[in-house]
Amino acid sequence: MTKKERWIVFPSVIVLLLGATFFDLRISLAVYGKNLFSTIFEVIGEAPIQFLALFGALVLLRFRSKKNKLVSAVLAGAYGLLVVAFAFMFGFATINYVNENIAHELPVFASLATALAGLAFAIWLARSVPKDRAKEAVTFAIIAIVYVLLIVIVMNSIKGIWGRLRMREMLDPASEFTPWYQIHYRGGFDNRYASFPSGHTMNAAGMILITILPGVFPKLTGKETLLRVIAYAWAVVVGFSRVVAGAHFTTDVLFGILLSYTLFEITRVIITKIRQNKKTMGALPAE
């Protein structure tokens, strides 16, 4: 994000979060009703960030240091494991959502096929990175992978502590509803009590990663505004779909967006500075 962008995005989300605090239950009661819209985005909402992490792992594999055979082999093994992990996440998570919402009985083969399809496209994309953009590509890859891991860790940690009951699990919303700032300290993960924050929305907000891609693919230069519109629109649409599905309240979604963008900015700024400092100090970049 640019400095101007940060001054617009973060205050706007905070104001919306504070405003939604007073109308949280009313909004959910007004829009709740699982339909095709919410089902589609439950299935595909998290896929982009999973794919971008897979692409990042393949970039690290391609541009790893090859000056020492042993080091190269170790790095290949480590990055290869990341590739398998993110391909597995992409394939099995997507089909799992399909089974929960649509088919109910797709075989394991469907997950493998989805994972392999995503892997094939990611390989093609990683091989399309110009060699003179290796440094930028590796920086993107590190940011993407660290960012994804931070989302998983932070999101699940908060969910386990907060323990907010999902709208669709309530028998009597008027009496069971609790505000987002009320912590229940349930001390364990229970999907029924995993409303706050919205994990789907945190991952959907991860589409913000595409705003870094012009530095990796020259053809995207000049399309920065379009990429930003796509990234922010994806987060908003997926977030709204989660409220419609009754999986989350509006405040869960807004806090998820706020937290995800915060993690992104922290990750992006720190890793970019580290990479720039290494270059300044004469360290060898990935080639």
Looking at residue 94, what is its pLDDT?
74
pLDDT on residue 207? 97
HSE toward the beta carbon, residue 204, CA cutoff 13 A: 27
Triad 270, 213, 56: Cα angle to 5°:
70
Model confidence over 29-88: pLDDT tens digits?
999 987 889 989 998 999 999 999 999 999 999 999 888 889 889 999 999 999 999 999
| Whole-number Å distance between alpha carbons of 64 and 46 | 28
8 A C-beta contact, residue 38 and residue 242: yes
Q: Give the pLDDT of residue 91.
A: 85
Q: What is the pLDDT of residue 285?
A: 44
pLDDT of residue 189: 73
In angstroms, rounded to a whole number, what is the distance separating the alpha carbons of residues 49 and 204?
Answer: 7
**pLDDT per position as a tens digit, 109-134:** 777 888 899 999 999 999 999 999 99
Q: Terminal CA-to-CA distance of the chain, rounded, Å?
A: 27
pLDDT of residue 106: 66
Q: What would you report as the CA-atom Rg of the chain, rounded to the nearest whole angstrom?
A: 20
* Average pLDDT per block of 10 residues along the chain, 287 residues long: 92 97 97 89 93 97 90 92 93 76 67 88 96 95 97 94 93 93 81 93 98 96 96 98 96 98 97 81 43
Q: Where are the alpha helices (DSSP H) in the chain?
A: 3-20, 24-31, 36-44, 47-62, 69-101, 108-127, 134-162, 173-176, 199-205, 224-244, 250-280
pLDDT reported for residue 268: 96
